[in-house]
Structure formats: C-alpha cells, structure tokens
Structure 1
Amino acid sequence: MTAKSTLPPRGIRNNNPGNLNFAHQKGAVLEPGPNARFARFPTPEAGLAALRDQLCLYIVRDGIDTVTGIISKWAPPNENATASYIRAVCRFMCVGPDAKLGPPTPKLLTSLMNAIIRFENGQNPYGSLVAQVAANLPPGGVSA
C-alpha cells in the first residue's frame, strides 16, 4: 500500500500558483530540486502579482486576447494538455475559446487567474486574495 502524498501542489509550495517558469522575475528565485524550472516567490501575493503581470503582458504587449491564445502561449501543446486546459478555462469563465476578452480589468484578471490556478494546482486556496491582487493593476495594465 502506497501512502498518498500530503504535500501541497508544486505551484502552491512555490508561491507560484500559475507555475511560471523562472525568468528572473522580481523577487523570485529558481525552485530547489533536481527538476527545477519554475519560479519560487517569497509570498503568495508576489506569485499572484507575477501571474497577473504575465497575463497583462500577453493581453497588452502581445495582443493576445482570447482564451485559446493565452493558454496556448501559457501552456504550449509540446508540454501540456493545452486543449483540455483551454476547455477548462472557458468553462470556468463562461466564454468561448476564441471570444475577445478585451483589455485587462480586475474582473477579467480575477476570472482568468482563478481558472489558471485551479487548472495548474487542482485547487485554489487563495480566496479573495486573487481579486485583491488583480485589482492592483500596474499602470497601463503592464509592468516592466
């Protein structure tokens, strides 16, 4: 009989609920371990802010404004079940995969962030913290 792991999911342990790859984000370090590739943030708020900022970059800088576009870039098919991910996010947000989402607003970002967190981790322990972080948009919806 094998004992079931009681460790929280990797994204939660790393304060990185979007499972962002480490890219020298402000305040982040590379997660420890032999298969390290994801960022580890000092607090849940910092990880949520990084998730928010990355979504803003996709929407504003890159002009990617559909669930299909965002999730295809976020979780490319060469390493993810991207089609399943897109379907799950669309169901959560009650939008079509190619519906234009518009500019980043606290409401849109809260919805996207909650959907991504749930898919990436199988849970979302952050409650209203997601909306609080999403409401604190950087100027112009994008931070450098």
Structure 2
Amino acid sequence: MGKILDQASTPRGIRNNNPGNIEDNGTPWRGRQGNDGRFIIFDKPENGIRAIARTLNTYDNKYGINTLERIISRWAPPFENNTESYIQHAERALKISRHTPIGAQHKAGLIKVIIQHENGVQPYSDKVIHDGIAAA
C-alpha cells in the first residue's frame, strides 16, 4: 500500500520518466512507451532526459533559439506558464543572464533547472543527467 501512496505523490514527469514534461506530438522518441493523455511516457529517465537534450539541440540548430530567455520562453510559453519566474529560476541556478547563449557548459545545469521547475524536485544523479545528454 505504501508503494501506491508513494507513486501517487510522485510528480507526473518523474512517474512518466519524462522530467521535462514533453507533450506527445507523435515524435517516435527512443524509449517511448505511450502517453498519459498529454505527456510522453518513457521507459527510463535517461531517455526522457535525452529527449530534453535533443529538443534543446533542435531549438538551437533549427531555430537559432540559444539564449536562456528564448529557450525557456519556447519550452514554457507564457500562455500556460509563469515564464518570467522560470527564467529567473534559471538565471539564479546557472548564475548567468537571460541573454547568455547556452553552450555545452550550461546544458546539464539547464536540464536540471528544467527538471526542478517542471516537477518541483530534481531527483536524478549527475550520471543519469550526463547519460541522457550523451545519448542525445
């Protein structure tokens, strides 16, 4: 019975191994097991983190979205999020300006911020984060 209560209190993104709360738009992500009606369910956290990293890569490579402010504004648009609060959280956590281009040196930190902000917790070890990024 304790397991059921623990599962129910676990944030949706963590339960789904999708800590970025990536919506299901039909992309055939590695490790995709379906969805919960809105968000993708992954087989393991590394694949959910890989999806975050690949999405961030796409923002930069395809759309030229590479500053903290632009990335978060795209990830968490103001029509459904407190985007300004999210950007301020990232600025504090990464100790950089919203206008700073995000490079490889910031990627793990930014992914941790996304996980924390989306779920209220960031439960993953650096190894899990880095394994997800490396798989991207």
Q: Whole-Å Cα distance in 2 between the matches of residues 63 and 89 of structure 1?
A: 19
Other structure's SS at 1:64 match: coil
Residue 31 of structure 1 is aligned with which of 12, 30, 35? 35
Partner of 2:13: 11
Partner of 1:133: 132
RMSD, aligned α-carbons:
1.6
Partner of 1:53: 54
Cα shift readout 1:4-43 (whole Å, capped 9, x = no counterpart): x7421010011000001112232324433xxx21111111
TM-score (norm: length of structure 1): 0.81
**Shift of residue 133, structure 1, vs aligned partner:** 2.1
**Shift of residue 72, structure 1, vs aligned partner:** 0.4
Partner of 1:21: 23
Q: Whole-Å Cα distance in 1 between the matches of residues 72 and 81 of structure 2?
A: 10
Which protein has the bigger helix share?
2
Other structure's SS at 2:46 match: helix
- The sequence identity of aligned pairs, in percent, is 37
Q: Whole-Å Cα distance in 1 between the matches of residues 42 and 131 of structure 2?
A: 18
Q: Whole-Å Cα distance in 2 between the matches of residues 48 and 108 of structure 1?
A: 15
Partner of 1:109: 107
Q: Count residues in correspondence.
A: 127
**Shift of residue 137, structure 1, vs aligned partner:** 5.6
Q: Bigger CA drift: 19-28 or 122-131?
A: 19-28
Partner of 2:119: 121
Provide structure 2 residue ranges, at least 5 long, that are not aligned to the other structure.
none
Other structure's SS at 1:21 match: coil
TM-score (norm: length of structure 2): 0.85
**Shift of residue 111, structure 1, vs aligned partner:** 1.0
Q: Whole-Å Cα distance in 2 between the matches of residues 47 and 92 of structure 1?
A: 21
**Shift of residue 99, structure 1, vs aligned partner:** 1.6
**Shift of residue 100, structure 1, vs aligned partner:** 2.1
**Shift of residue 62, structure 1, vs aligned partner:** 1.1
Contact 2:48 2:132 in 1 (8 A): no
